[in-house]
Amino acid sequence: MTAGVVVFGSLHLDIMVHAPGRPRLGETLVGRSWSLKEGGKGGNQAVEAARHGARTAMIGAVGDDDFGRRLVANLRRNKVETAAVRVMRGAASGMSVALVEPAGDYGAVIVSGANLTLGRAAVAAAAPVMGGAGWLLLQNEVPEEANVAAAEAARAAGTRVILNAAPVRELPMALLACIDILVVNALEAEALCGAPVETLEGAARAAEALLGLVPSVIVTAGGHGLAIAGRDGMRYTVAPHRVMVSSTHGAGDAFVGALATRLAAGDPLAKAARYANAAAALVVATPPEERAGLGPVSVEALLREV
């Protein structure tokens, strides 16, 4: 059976450090605790898509090390197909260090490792996985040429493409020509269109400005909600859910994974975004160790409260 959602992207093992803040240059802070979390934007989005009901496959790369084994095991445990995850001999798996502040906000540093081996050869080898899929998810934690190759292969196969342009970087025309939906947060939108996004109205203006790049744009603005714009004339905003913040780490990936799942199920973009917005809110409100229990039932319950 063909996967409804295919994710081409990064796999990182995250070292989560809970700290009183982010240190200034030359400063040493005393943290409260640390833990390991299987992640990478690609891996996170694949797990979230599967969690919300999509048959999901991952295309990626890990090293032949303990980090890599943990990353692949986590995907399988969460019912993500891993036949196209390559184990690179002699390479170190990708990793990150995330500093989580008491209020739940975070900053992170990534070391890409084996993710940098992804390119046209990996895309060609994964053709059986990508062929016939409903949606392909891309992010910017793998080499640009790899994303271009994956997007072109998807377009040739009739698969629609979502690009989550994070972390933000210049987007080549060859990639943009293959993108159906661009998803960016407030900071990424500002970097791409030059206008600050500090309100829901600002998110709507940024989404419209970015239509020069792709047919449909979603700008997520955290506690302000999100805005959608389409070249078909669509203009739509979604208000935020008021929740107590446990941690914002992973919220953006939860949004994208849930969005792809609902699109693969046939929902129109506005309905899928409303569902994904609720899924991300639940992630923000739930301690990381309890998020495995989230899914369609909890999202629908939150939507009924509105």
157-198 per-position pLDDT tens digit: 999 999 999 999 999 999 999 999 999 999 999 999 998 999
Name the amino acid, one letter, at 32. Answer: R
pLDDT band at 2 (very low <50, low <70, confident <90, very high): low
> What are the structural domains, with CATH classification, of the chain?
5-20+33-179+241-305 (3.40.1190.20)
- pLDDT digits over 222-262, tens only? 889 999 999 999 999 999 888 888 878 789 999 999 999 99
Rounded (10°) angle between helices 269-285 and 251-264: 150
114 closest CA partner among 17, 9, 257: 9
Name the amino acid, one letter, at 29. Answer: L
How many other C-beta atoms are found inside a 10 Å radius of the C-beta of residue 53? Answer: 17
HSE at residue 204, side-chain half, CA atoms within 13 A, is 12
Q: Report residue 24 CA to chain centroid gap.
A: 28
Buried b (16+ CB within 10 A) or exposed e, 85-105: bbebeebbbbbbebbbeeeee
Residue 65: active-site member = no
Q: Please tell me whether the peptide bond between 167 and the residue prior to it is cis, using omega within 30 degrees of 0.
A: yes
- pLDDT digits over 128-152, tens only? 998 889 999 999 999 999 999 999 9
- pLDDT digits over 272-286, tens only? 999 999 999 999 989
Confidence (pLDDT) at 136: 98
pLDDT band at 306 (very low <50, low <70, confident <90, very high): low
Does the pLDDT at position 1 exceed 50? Answer: no
Give the separation between CA 143 and CA 48, rounded to whole angstroms: 23
Residues 31, 54 contacting (CB under 8 angstroms): no
Q: Report residue 60 CA to chain centroid gap.
A: 14
- According to DSSP H, which parts of 163-242 are helical? 173-176, 186-193, 200-209
Query: What's the rounded mean pLDDT across residues 66-75?
Result: 98
Q: Which residue has the tokens 């062929």?
A: 131
Does the pLDDT at position 7 exceed 80? Answer: yes
Element (DSSP H or E) covering residue 42: helix 41-51
Which one from 14, 65, 180, 253 is the annotated catalytic residue? Answer: 253
Q: Is 56 exposed, middle or buried (0-12, 13-18, 19+ CB in 10 A)?
A: buried
Query: What's the rounded mean pLDDT across residues 4-27?
Result: 94
